[in-house]
Amino acid sequence: MPYDVIIAGAGPAGLSTALFLLNARPDLAGRVLVLEKKAFPRDKTCAGALGGRGDSLLESIGVRVEVPSIPISGLRFTVPRGFSERTPGPIGRTIRRLEYDAALAAQARARGVLLVEGAPVCQIRVSRREVEVTAGEEVYGGRVLVGADGLGSFVRRWLGLSFAPLKARVVEMDTERTEGDPPPHVLHFDVSDRGLNGYAWDFPTPLDGEVRMSRGVYGLVFPGHDPPDVARLLDRRLESIGLDPGSHRKRQMLERGFEPHQPFAHGRVILVGEAAGVDPITGEGMAEAIQYGAVAGTYLAKKLVLGHPDFADWRTHLLRSPVGTDLFLRRWGAYLCFRYARRPAELLFARVPGVLDQAARLFAGGRPGRKEDYASALD
C-alpha cells in the first residue's frame, strides 16, 4: 500500500480534499495520490461563479488561487413583472475553469500531493485491508479511496448508486456583452419563464483579457417529469437580446442533485463533490466542492489514525456539516421554489430586499441575517 489515500478526480472537490487532509496531517505528504482522467489544462462546462466561501476556506489553510477573475458584489433577480437588484459588497468572483483547476492542481502539487494525469479509473477492488485502483494501464494500492470524479463518477457506479432521480439539464455559452446586461459586477438570475423549473443566467466572465458574458439555462428535472429543451430556450433568449444563437458555441451537460438518503460511502470508499450531488436549486458546484473537500479532508485525517478506518458514519458526518446541512435544505427548497410555492418565492425575492441580501450573504459564506431583515415580508 504505497499510498494512504487515493482520490479519483482532480477537480475542486478532489484537490480540496487532498489539501485539507495534508493541512491536518502534513506527515502524509507524498502518500496522497490524485488520479485525473484528463490532462491539465482541461476545460469544464461551468458558468464560473465562485462564492466567496470557497476562497475563504482555501485561504484558511494558506491556499490562494490566483487566476484572471471578475469580482462580484451584487445579484439581480428577474421575475415576470420586473427585477430586483442588490449590491451588498464583495461576495465572490467569476473565473474560467480551464485556468482555475490547473492553478489549484499546481498548488496541491506544491504541498505534497501526487497527481497523475491521463489516468481514468476503470477498475476498483476493495479488500479488508486495502483498496486497489486500476487507472489506464497502471494499478495503485492504498488504504482508502475518495470518489471525486464528477457527474459520470465511476466510483459512484461501482458503489451501485443510481444517477439520482433529481437532476438538471444545463446549456452554456460565452458571448459579447449587450446594452441591457447588468453591470459587470452583478450575477443575473432570470426566473421569468414559469414553464421552466429553473432559471436563465447572465454572468460576467474573464475571457481573452476582456469582460464577456456567460449565458445559459438551468433546467431542473423532477422525478417523472420530461426534461426541458434547454438549448432551444437559450436560443430564444439570445434572439430576444439581439444575439445570433448560431454564432456562438453551446456546451451542454447534466447535473446531479443532492440526495440525502444515499450512503455516500461503503467499506473503504467515500464520495465527495459532484459525485455525491450538488445544490439542486442553482446547480452551484465550485464553492460547495471546496466545502466538501474541507469536510472530507479533516474527516479522513482523523479516520486514518485507525488501523482499519470505518466510513459507516460518513453520511451522518456529512449531513451534520455546514455543506451537508445547506445541501439538505436546498434540496427541499428546490421543490418549494419550483413546484409548490413558486409565485410566493418569486415575490419574496423580488420585493423584499432582505431576502436577496440573504442570498448574497450565503453565497459569500456569511451567516444568516437577523429576522428583522425580513420584517417587510410580513407587511
Asked if 290 contacts 12 with a C-beta cutoff of 8 angstroms, the reply is: yes
Q: Write the CB contacts of 287 (distance below 8 Å, at least 6 apart in sequence).
A: 50, 51, 52, 53, 54, 92, 363, 365
192 in a domain, yes or no?
no
29 in a domain, yes or no?
yes
202 in a domain, yes or no?
no
323 in a domain, yes or no?
yes
Nearest-angstrom CA–CA distance, 359 and 372: 16
Could you read off the pLDDT of 15-47 as tens digits, one per residue? 999 999 999 999 999 999 999 999 999 988 899
pLDDT at 1: 66
351 in a domain, yes or no?
no
189 in a domain, yes or no?
no
* Domain CATH number, residue 283: 3.50.50.60
Asked if 309 contacts 301 with a C-beta cutoff of 8 angstroms, the reply is: no
pLDDT at 200: 96
pLDDT at 164: 78
Nearest to 327 by CA among 255, 254, 260: 260
pLDDT at 376: 38
Ramachandran category for residue 292: left, alpha or beta (phi over 0 → left; psi -120 to 50 → alpha): alpha
* Under-50 pLDDT residues of the chain: 369-379
pLDDT at 228: 94
Nearest-angstrom CA–CA distance, 35 and 33: 7
pLDDT at 88: 92
283 in a domain, yes or no?
yes
Nine-digit cell at 106?
499546481
pLDDT at 247: 85
What domain count does the chain have? 1
CA 124, distance to chain mean position in Å, is: 25
pTM, rounded to two decimals: 0.93
Domain that holds residue 53: 3-72+94-164+257-340
Could you read off the pLDDT of 194-223 as tens digits, one per residue? 999 999 999 999 999 999 999 999 999 998
